[in-house]
Amino acid sequence: MLKQIIECVPNFSEGNDPNIIKQITNAIESVEGVMLLHVDMGKATNRTVVTFAGEPQKVINAAFLGIQKAAELIDMRKHKGEHPRMGATDVCPLVPVSGINMAECVAWAIKLAERVGKELAIPVYLYEEAQINKVRSNLSIIRAGEYEGFAKKITLPEWQPDFGPAELPLKHGATVIGARDFLIAYNINLNTKSTRIANRIAFDVREAGRVKREGNPITGKIVKDANGEEVRIPGTLKAVKAIGWYIEEYGMAQISMNLTNYKITSVHQAFDEVCNKGNERGVRITGSELVGLVPLGPLLDAGRYYLNKQGRSTGVSESELIDIAIQSLGLNQLGAFNPKERIIEYVLEKKSNKQLVDMSIRAFANETASESAAPGGGSVSALSAALGVSLGTMVANLSADKRGWEERTKEFSDWAEQGQSLKDELLFLIDEDTNSFNAIMNALQLPKETEAEKDFRKTALENASIYATEVPLRTMKVAFKCIPLLKYMVENGNPNSVTDAAVGLLCIKTAVRGAYFNVMVNAKGLSTTDKAKELASEAKSILKQNHTEIDSILDKVESTLAF
């Protein structure tokens, strides 16, 4: 099973005093196993977004300490800022990352809320998925009236807090805790200082739209339905909240957006729609900024979207996709956008142990040539396959960009995307093969003094050995999947690169046979005979098919080169 990981993104009502924020983040980091991912201080909004992640119990312990420290240090009676707020810790969402579903995340949010209300005597409102009463699950509805109006609001029967006292502590206010999917805080920059124009564009695009008026859309009488409710004209983007504001620090107005479900409305769709609406109102979009961390997926989607609009191949590397997204969205306008520091998967990866795939070619070769038994033949086989499919992907991209072949761009782009996916899986297997070998070494070092220890060691060693056999078998399977791509490039790709595809096939042939050797030697060490025979039989079948298909394709290449 995957380890359960959740992300917590508390927003603290302080953005000018780094000493206060440092004390809060120190409290969060005091919990062992919690990883502080990002701290984003906003001077104009006087607000800081902190992002950290870890196992659920550790994360809620850290969140509690952060909320406690914020209540101690932040005085809401003195707070001024552009962003709506109702307390020292204005909002504290939990976000499922891996190995945990939303229902489980909700349960942890409720535990945190109950503890904060009980132990810190802070009024707590549940929101989003954690709130059963959907009338008050929306953050903006809960926060309406803000800190200044909450002393009165909290006394209303319908606004009793879910946990904690029904009285507003004037020093640190109230807070909102819940569970939600990834929310992307996204600001789009305008070439105007007009908050009025920014708000009009925000109303054009946000899902809630604007109230309908008779005659003049700005000053006309508000239209109401038969029940006396205001009639609204919906905006063009679903799952989007937006307002316009002026940021003195930047000297420009922005559309400040929350993309509450980026799978419904993506970052690039939001950007393009604001561009369209801005153009209608004589405003040009000069760039945009992402607040806090963002998942990798939305930027990859944006990169593919803009490459596709340009009629170019989308089958390029992750780094290229991210670069085109950064350039197209203007994410560098207000400051450098460093993917290693702003994309959550990269930050988590950066803080983990160094991997073989991160090494230079020289370092990898030196490590392989050292006295250490790992990396060995399995990792090198996976690397060989990764290089092989990379050559096929290169030919696909060259073919997609070939002059006169414009009508075939999507055809080759699709092949290139497939190649990138296979390459990434093979790169993962380089380290996984070494990890599986290390697992065997670790099992061998387990104590074996008592019968119980011997039994435990035997089971651990057998499980590790099975996995060490399955990993190279997986390398064989993935490498074998690369053949159709390389075959297609030999037969249909840019004729100037046919030999590159042929070299790719040779890499695949070597990789499959090399991984086969690892399967067989590890299978021989298994005590479970039936399992060993099953794995060995599958490996033999793949090896035979692999050689037959590749040799047939290479014979055709040889015939085209004969003179």
DSSP element (H, E) containing 457: helix 451-480
DSSP element (H, E) containing 190: strand 184-190
Secondary structure (DSSP) of 362-425: HHHHHHHHSSSS-S-HHHHHHHHHHHHHHHHHHHHHHHHT-TT-GGGHHHHHHHHHHHHHHHHH
User: Which 3-state string (H, E, C) describes 480-508?
Assistant: HCCHHHHHHHHHHCCHHHHHHHHHHHHHH
DSSP element (H, E) containing 161: none
Question: Is 512 in contact with 483 (CB distance < 8 Å)?
Answer: no
Is the torsion defined by CA of 43, 237, 265, 129 positive or negative?
Answer: positive
Asked if the peptide bond before residue 484 counts as cis, ω within 30 degrees of 0, the response is no
Distance from the Cα of residue 403 to its chain's centroid: 36
CA-to-CA dists, residue 454 to 131, 450, 451, 466, 531, angstroms: 51, 6, 5, 18, 22
Distance CA 437, CA 367 (A): 15
Catalytic residue among 40, 272, 433, 500: 433
Secondary structure (DSSP) of 339-367: HHHHBHHHHHHHTS---GGGS-HHHHHHH
> Which residues, in sequence order, are bridge partners of residue 150?
none
Query: Catalytic residue at 83?
Result: yes
Catalytic residue among 17, 75, 83, 323: 83
Helix, strand, coil shares of the chain as percentages rounded to 5? 55, 15, 30
> Which residues, in sequence order, are bridge partners of residue 176?
91, 125
Question: Is 389 in contact with 483 (CB distance < 8 Å)?
Answer: no
CA-to-CA dists, residue 429 to 372, 434, 478, 542, angstroms: 19, 8, 10, 18
Query: Catalytic residue at 547?
Result: no
Structural tokens at position 269: 């769709």
- Region label for 142, one of left (φ > 0), alpha (ψ between -120 and 50) or beta (otherwise): alpha
Residues noted as catalytic: 83, 433
